[in-house]
Amino acid sequence: MDEPDTAAIVPGDLLGAASEDERPTDGREGEEAGEEAGAPTGAGPPPCPLPVSVEPVLFLSMFSVALQAPLCTQYLWDRISEDLGYNGTKSSGCGNSSAEPDPVQKEVETLTAHWNLYISLGGFLVGMLVVPLLGSWSDAAGRRLVLVLPNLGLALQAAVYLAVMYLRLPVACFLAGRLLSGLSGDFNAVLAGCFAYVADVSDRRSRTLRVAVLEACLGVSGMLASIIGGQWRRAQGYINPFWLVLATNLVSALYAYLFVHESVRPDPGATLLTAHHHKAVWRLYWTGGVRLRLYALCFFLVVTVHFGCRELYVLYELSAPLCWGPALIGYGSAAQHLAYLSSLLGLRLLQRCLVDSWVALAGLASNVTGLLVFSVADSTQLMFTGYALCFLFMAATPVLRSKLSKLVDPSEQGALFASVACIESFSYLVGSSVFNSLYPATLHFMKGFPFLFAAAVLFIPAGIMGAVQCSDRRREPSASDR
């Protein structure tokens, strides 16, 4: 991609201010400085007069996911409440935090958490097999197909959910929709394709920032979807928002097919159903260095906490003593997603005086303090205080993605991001399983215990990253950020 193309996606002052620790120090400055950030290596899609990239694809896909996720949890809550005869007023605990919890409400919470777990397990067990397959296949077949297919699968999932709502089918049918989406790669395949595309079209100096911009798209779209979803659900119910979910996924697939230029040269003979793709992913870690595996472990733990807590926020806010309605739940989700944008700005500022590892540690510290407040939040003000303290919590993941990308050769980027997609799928699986099981199991002694547990887990990646950075600093001042 030419410089004007890059400037059309990221403001020039951001791209031109790469921090000193991002500059290569292994004698390849001339080679890397001469890299073209986005020169496509293969045939492009139908001609388009405007420079485009994958940010709109990720924005639209994330919008659909963020719009439907809290609505699905609330729909499960309402259907299960109806089946159990719970009137939903929550009068026993909302006016008096010391009142004895309603046992029927506790049963509704438990069943809702368990159904969230079953749906997540079904979709992501399938997705764990499909995502690395599609990601590695995209090295030969091109990135566009890996952006189109998952969006079509997400649209099919939305169609199944609409059928459940229109026909009042059992909530177990939600699982069928998740399985269909998992077979097409689900949202994690979109993530894998988008981040692999950015690795293709960026150089080492700008990669951390380009990844952060891509993750900021997640936050902005999630914030808008959360605000719209809460208000819309209160005004018109569940069905109309899910029609928008369906339309958004179809538009995202169409955009990727028509406008996204290929960043790799497609091989017409590329085969999808072969064990070679999975072997390429595992070979990367089998032959990779220790730092590659350590950073992958850090990424797994951080994303596990993010995914695991994300589903609990809605349950925590629905029940006593908070008892939030759809509008407040939407605002809470918007505040959570706003941290993607504040994390991008914080990362850009902190890179001026800190190396990437310390920026990531600052992000983890922000996440820990927010989780500690969530664990004791018994009022709306305290809950939003926790969201405010998490303003930098997404600074760690773009740093980790960028570090992983810089530890492999350019020809291995596809296999790397296929493995990152696999890790992300496994993180969702573990996060959903652990936190959706931990929440009902600890209701009787501390409602916010899962958030305390999450804060404790984050000390592990913080320790690893700090130790690796200090070790590399002693050995060679800039080795950790090559």
Q: Comparing 98-107, 123-132, 223-232, 415-424, which segment has the lowest mean pLDDT?
A: 98-107
Encode pLDDT of 318-372 as tens digits: 888 888 887 888 788 778 878 888 998 999 899 888 888 999 999 999 999 999 9
> Going from the N-terminus, what domains does the chain have, and what CATH number goes with each?
53-89+101-259+283-481 (1.20.1250.20)
pLDDT category of residue 476 using cuts at 50, 70 and 90: low
Phi, psi of 462 (to 5 degrees): -65, -45
Neighbouring C-beta atoms of residue 411, cutoff 10 Å: 8
CA distance 443 to 279: 43
Higher pLDDT, 1 or 330: 330
Q: For residue 417, what pLDDT is reported?
A: 82
Neighbouring C-beta atoms of residue 33, cutoff 10 Å: 12
464 by Cβ neighbours in 10 Å (0-12 / 13-18 / 19+) ranks as middle
Encode pLDDT of 151-171 as tens digits: 999 999 999 999 999 998 988
Encode pLDDT of 417-448 as tens digits: 878 877 877 887 788 889 988 988 998 889 88
CB 400 within 8 A of CB 412: no
Q: For residue 61, what pLDDT is reported?
A: 94
The token pair at 339 is: 């941290």
143 by Cβ neighbours in 10 Å (0-12 / 13-18 / 19+) ranks as buried
Separate counts of helices (H) and strands (E) for the chain: 19, 0
CA distance 384 to 390: 10
Q: Estimate to the nearest angstrom the gap between the alpha carbon of 360 and the chain centroid.
A: 16
The mean pLDDT of the chain is 80
CA distance 76 to 114: 10
In degrees, rounded to 5, the angle at the alpha carbon of residue 144 between the alpha carbons of residues 22 and 286 is: 55
* Helix runs in 48-90, H state only: 55-84
294 by Cβ neighbours in 10 Å (0-12 / 13-18 / 19+) ranks as middle
CA distance 96 to 130: 48
